[in-house]
Chains A and B, each alone.
Chain A
Amino acid sequence: MTESPLTTGQRVSSIAHDFGVFRALTARGMMRMRRIPALIIPAIMMPMFFVIAFSGSFSALANVEGFPTPRVINWMVPYAILQGASFAGMGAAGGTATDIEGGFFDRLLLAPCRRPILMVGPLGYSALRSLIPTTLVLLLSLALGADLPGGALGLLCLYVAAVGVALLFGTLGLAFVYKFRSLKSLSIVQIFIFGFMFLSIGQVPLALQSGWLQHAARLNPMTNILRLSRQGFLGHVTWHGTWPGLVAIAGLVLGFGAVAYRNLRRIVP
């Protein structure tokens, strides 16, 4: 037997190993995205269009009593950005579904790292890539006349909310993909995104809504996340406007994450 560094037991420590796998999986996602730009382009174009279309179509909302800002675009930007982030966030699930269908996921499952890392790695990719539409849509909106009276803190809230939304739909997507093992199952996640985003204060504040929608939007955790992302565009950042959004993100990510993890562990020991 020849002696090699490996047979003498040389491996990195367990924490360094897990972190290395996390970093490699995130980087692999970004690499795939660079090689197939079509994976990210819709998540950029769609929110850009939403900013233009929503603030153009509904510019007259500013005349309605109770609408919180004279600039309708300020109201619409965070909504469009969170839409973009939600689609960008599905990247984790899309990549994993492709891996499962193509068999590559077996290679990842065979890695002697802790199982949650196999989830967290792609989510890192989701979070990272959600910064792309967020930043581009923000720049476009500023060029179109949006402003950010909440300053740097407002900006931070926007980015935290966008990354949070990417993570939460990323975990939801993983929960479906681990269960159904197909790319197709992601169309169900799109319906979830549609519901979460639509039955909220996306386009119109609670005060202007009526009946059933108002009830639904009040209960929808996305409403709190939208408030978090939007406060810097409407005025100053307050703790009161911040913590409910953070709680909503943490709650949903952990909840969906638990389901996803359970589904992953059903596949393999």
Chain B
Amino acid sequence: MSLNQHYDLAIIGAGPAGMAAAVEASKNNLKVLVLDDQPAVGGQVYRQIDKNYHNSDELSYLGEDYWLGKKLVDNFWHSSAELLSESRVWQITRDKLIFFSQKGLAHQVQADFILISTGAMERPMPIPGWTLPGVMSVGGAQTLLKSNNSGVDGAVFAGSGPLFYLTIWQYLIAGLKIVAVVDTAPARLSLHHYLRAIPALLQLNLLLKGLRWKSYIRKNTKYFSQVRKVSISGQFAAESLSFIDRYGESKKLFASHIFLHQGVVPNVNLTMATGLKHYWCPRQLCWHPETNIYGESSLKGVFVAGDGSGIAGVGAAILSGKTAAKRIFQYSRRPPIFSIFLSKFKRYRHAAARPFLDNLFRPPKDWRVPFDDETIVCRCEALKKADISLAISLGVAGPNQLKSFCRAGMGRCQGRMCGLTIQQMIADHNNLLEKDIGYFRLRPPIRPLTVGELASMADENVPAK
């Protein structure tokens, strides 16, 4: 591998946004490098699609939307973009040096432009017992299907959101048994909500698909809706899940596998650690990097595309990747006015259903902040809600100060598991808005990096400055 090279464009993340950008940029003869921490391209949505394609008859349960990704992946392979897989990017500097490790060694490359397309992550659902063995995220459950071509029989699914229904549907079509589906979405009866459904009709296909999944699930599983107070118990591992159903009755289900989901949020660890500006999105209850219509961030030459810049789904991700690549190619020129309108319109069209869906699946506070004092919030440091409340009551004004008081967020997950919960708790205690509380100050390495890997750079040329 001849690294230490210079690229026109380096793309972090080979999901739909990253691949689309790579294809578009290579078409325009840019020298492109794509880095991804997985062994195969595809990101979350198209995970392992190349391998699975040979088996597509047997794996038809993954659904037609999944197989659509094959075309994009093929285009990517036909492009001149270079791919470095199993490469974990752990730092990007303001002068656009990219540091990453691969197979035990650390390297650096430099690029004129950087596109960060590191996608989304699932919002943690900190309910009692969520840290017990046997409890997993729904995304993890779906990964089992895509990577191992096997799921788990006899699980309970608890949560809500598009990925929640899709995965359950895939499990059912794959012939796996499901003990029950516990839907945590509250009833949305306001007019205000249904007004949002009007623009969503632009993505009618998407809505109909969702309705189809849902009715299939209702028919084929034991389905509970509008539940409250979900908790998991078990001595050493998950044994059962309890909740209160919509009629106010307590229910208990036995299962050793429980899959949780409360939607996805942009994975902002890299964009934040790189120093890009972010803003709080109250509709999606998470941070978004600030970008213009082309995806350009507050740091010149650094772009963000795909779900990492705000949750909008795969169609919008592909479009945003392409748009960023085009803009990078014509960077020296001013974009013609109509192209701005066109981009805006296309973007709107590809995410028209978002406001409606965001509202429909907006997780109520009970699923974002534990309703029970004994529930773990910070997994790395094993801190319960009560521990964190106590520290906050000592006069903590923000997440960073909280670190000194109780070490919350200082572990290896770097706040991915507890950040949003802690932010909400501090906001509640001080009667402030979440946006005014801010988030953990994130610092590299934002990906696992060993001392040995870092030591391997000692013999390379380390940038002066």
Partners in one complex: no
Interface residues of B (CB under 8 A from A): none
Interface residues of A (CB under 8 A from B): none
